[in-house]
Amino acid sequence: MAARKTAIVTGSTSGIGLAIAEALAADGCNVVVNSFSDTAQDHGTAETIATKHKVEVIYIKADMSKPDECRALIAKAAERFGSVDILVNNAGIQHVAPVEDFPIDKWDAIIAINLSSAFHTIAAAIPLMKANGGGRIVNIASAHGLVASPFKSAYVAAKHGIMGLTKTVALEVARDSITCNAICPGYVLTPLVEAQFPDQMKTHKMDRETVIRDVMLARQPTKEFVTVEQIAATAVFLCSPAAAQINGTHISVDGGWTAE
Q: Give the Cα separation of 259 and 60 in Å (integer).
A: 38
Round to whole Å and give the CA distance between 4 and 24: 11
Burial 8-27 (b: 16+ CB within 10 A, else e): bbbbbbebbbbbbbbbbbbb
Q: Is 87 left (phi over 0), alpha (psi -120 to 50) or beta?
A: beta
The 3-state DSSP class for residue 91 equals: coil
Sequence-ordered strand ranges (E) for 45-164: 57-61, 86-89, 135-140
Contact criterion met (CB below 8 Å) for 6 and 12 = no
Question: Which residue, 215, 179, 211, 213, is CA-closest to 198?
Answer: 211
HSE value, Cβ hemisphere, 13 Å, CA-based, for 195: 9
Give me the phi and psi of 254, to 5 degrees please. Answer: -135, 20
Q: How many CB atoms lie within 10 A of CB 256?
A: 12
Contact 102, 146 (CB under 8 A): no
Active-site positions? 155
